[in-house]
Structure 1
Amino acid sequence: MALFALGTSLCIALATLISAEVVKAVGGPMALSRWRMLIGFLMLAIIATAVGGWSSVSERHFPLILLSSLVAIVVADPALNAGIALIGARRTGLIFSLSAPFAAVLGFLVLGETLGLSQLVGCALVTFGIAFAVGFNRRPASEPDAARNSSVHAEVRLSAAGVLLAVLAAFGQAVGILSMRPVMLDHPDPFAVMALRGLVAVVFLWAYHFASPKTWKSGIGIPDRHTLARVSLGVFIGYVAGMSMLMIALTATSVAVASTLSSMAPVAILPMLWLRTGNRLAWQSWFGACVTVLGTAVLFWR
């Protein structure tokens, strides 16, 4: 089941790149979150209906689903998008990896989860590898390949607001994972659970939007079809596929292990950035990636 959490990290990495490229075109972080959740809910509702998963969700699950959606989506998703817009996808991904230690501590304090020595070492190696790979992936601006990167993925200066927003997103993700763990232990259909989380987010995000006087002055702001298609692709990869795999992983994996493996997105995003922008990666990136792979192997060792 832990492999599903690894799949989540790859999906989140690719979806983060897409978000970085469409966040301005769609109208900003809040607008991106609104459209992402609306499209994601529709996709998941169709899948849950097709597989007959609605009946697997019980009324006792609703409070935790509500909590998870409010904290991990309504608060954390716009914060993550805003962080990407302010400090870039790479740095936001690094800070977002703090969701792993946050979740491990919360899992211990709230759920009483304990980790064996190999799992503690594995989590530590994965977290260190992520920090090393992303935090030290810098190349001098004078290098020829750096000049080619004038896109939204270009390295930007750190800002306190961007860092705080990324930390808020990481904490929200940790709380969201923690609150879904008891729900997924009952083995409900993951698509139905994710659809309900998305529905709560849709109601709150769009209600907030329509409550603003600016909405009625400037209009709803429907993006063009090309932008909506890219948003839909990112939603399917990161939310429908990625987060559903994380829900499956939580049925048999502790919060700490699942969140650590799913937080490998910052490492996964580095070769994707290389392919997308043409910028070569520094040796520190490859070293950090190797440490992360080693940590993953230790997590699976018994």
Structure 2
Amino acid sequence: MAFFALGTSFCIALATLISAEVVKSVGGPMALSRWRMLIGFLMLAVLATVVGNWGSLSADHVPLIVLSSLVAIVIADPALNAGIALIGARRTGLIFSLSAPFAAALGFLVLGETLRPSQLIGCALVAGGIAFAVGFGRRPPADQDAARNSSVHAEVRLSAAGVLLAVLAAFGQAVGILSMRPVMLDNPDPFAVMAARALVAVVVLWAYHFAFPGTWKNGIAIPERRVLARVSLGVFIGYVAGMSMLMVALTGTSVAVASTLSSMAPVAILPMLWLRTGTRLAWQAWCGAFVTVVGTAVLFWR
């Protein structure tokens, strides 16, 4: 099951790149979250209907699904998008990897989960590898101003607001994972669970949008067709595929291990940025990635 969490990290990395390129075109972080959740709900509702497992959800699941949606989507998703817009996808990804230690601590405090010594070492190696890889992940361009103007993926100066938003997103993700662990132990259909989470977010985000007349008096700003298609692609990769795999992972592994493996997105994003921007990676990035792979192997060692 842990391999599903590992797959989540690659999906999140690719979706993060897509979000960085469309967040301004859609109208900002909140607008991106609204459209992402609406599209995600429609996709997941179709999948859950085709699979036919809506009945796997019960009334006992509702409070935790609502809590997970409010914290991990309504609060954390716009915070993550805003962090990407302020400090870039790479640095936001680094800070977002704090969701792993946050989740491990919450799993211990709330669920009473314990980790074997080898798993503690594995989590530490993965977290350390992520920090090292992302911290030295890119070579500084010769002309910072030109790079900043030429690509949405160019390095930008750190800001306190961007860092705090990324930390908030990481903590929200941890709480969201923790909330879903008891639900997924009942083996409900992951598509139905994710659709329910998305529905709660859709209602809250769009209700908030319409609660302020200044945001919609000129009508709903529907993104251009090409932009909407890219948003839909990011939703399918990051939310429909990625988060559904994470829900499956939670049925067979602890919150700490699942969150640690899914937080490898900052490492996965490095070669993606290289291919996308043509900027070569520093050798330290590959060393950090190697440490992360070793940590992953230790997690599976018994």
TM-score range relative to shorter protein? over 0.9
Q: Deviations over 1:274-296 (max 9, x none)?
A: 00000000011000000000000
Q: Which amino acid aligns with 2:81?
A: N
Q: Deviations over 1:257-281 (max 9, x none)?
A: 0000000000000000000000000
State the alpha-carbon separation in 1 of the partners of residues 232 and 178 from structure 2.
27
1:124 corresponds in structure 2 to: 124
Alignment of 1:162-177 (within 5 A): 162-177=162-177
State the alpha-carbon separation in 1 of the partners of residues 216 and 138 from structure 2.
44
The answer to whether residue 15 in structure 2 is matched with residue 15 in structure 1 is yes
1:35 corresponds in structure 2 to: 35
Q: Which amino acid aligns with 1:267?
A: V
Gap change, CA 1:50 and 1:65, over 3 Å in 2 = same
Most deviating of 2-11 and 133-142? 133-142
The answer to whether residue 84 in structure 2 is matched with residue 84 in structure 1 is yes
Gap change, CA 1:245 and 1:149, over 3 Å in 2 = farther
Query: What's the C-alpha RMSD, in Å, of the aligned pairs?
Result: 1.3
State the alpha-carbon separation in 2 of the partners of residues 72 and 31 from structure 1.
16
Q: Deviations over 1:96-131 (max 9, x none)?
A: 000000000000000000000110000000000000
Alignment identity in percent?
Answer: 86
Q: Between Structure 1 and Structure 2, how many residues are aligned? A: 301
Alignment of 1:139-218 (within 5 A): 139-142=139-142, 150-218=150-218
Q: Which amino acid aligns with 1:175?
A: V
State the alpha-carbon separation in 2 of the partners of residues 83 and 216 from structure 1.
24
Shift of 1:214: 1.2
Q: Which amino acid aligns with 2:73?
A: I
Shift of 1:150: 1.9
Q: Deviations over 1:60-97 (max 9, x none)?
A: 00000000000000000000000000000000000000
2:44 corresponds in structure 1 to: 44
2:59 corresponds in structure 1 to: 59
Question: 4+ residue runs of structure 1 moved beyond 6 angstroms?
Answer: none
- Does the 8 A contact of 2:107 with 2:178 survive in 1? yes
Secondary structure, aligned partner of 1:269 = helix
**What 5-or-longer segments of structure 1 have no aligned partner?**
none
State the alpha-carbon separation in 1 of the partners of residues 75 and 179 from structure 2.
15
Secondary structure, aligned partner of 2:65 = helix
- Does the 8 A contact of 1:127 with 1:260 survive in 2? yes
Shift of 1:138: 3.6
State the alpha-carbon separation in 1 of the partners of residues 193 and 140 from structure 2.
46
**What 5-or-longer segments of structure 2 have no aligned partner?**
none
- Does the 8 A contact of 1:149 with 1:277 survive in 2? no
2:25 corresponds in structure 1 to: 25
State the alpha-carbon separation in 2 of the partners of residues 288 and 193 from structure 1.
35
Secondary structure, aligned partner of 2:88 = helix
Shift of 1:142: 1.9
State the alpha-carbon separation in 1 of the partners of residues 227 and 140 from structure 2.
33
State the alpha-carbon separation in 2 of the partners of residues 58 and 47 from structure 1.
18
- With normalisation by structure 1, the TM-score equals 0.98
Q: Which amino acid aligns with 2:252?
A: A
Shift of 1:196: 0.1
Shift of 1:53: 1.3
Shift of 1:250: 0.0
Shift of 1:237: 0.2
Secondary structure, aligned partner of 1:253 = coil
1:268 corresponds in structure 2 to: 268
Gap change, CA 1:46 and 1:160, over 3 Å in 2 = same
Shift of 1:139: 1.8
- Does the 8 A contact of 2:2 with 2:261 survive in 1? yes
Q: Deviations over 1:221-249 (max 9, x none)?
A: 11011000000000000000000000000
- Does the 8 A contact of 1:9 with 1:264 survive in 2? yes
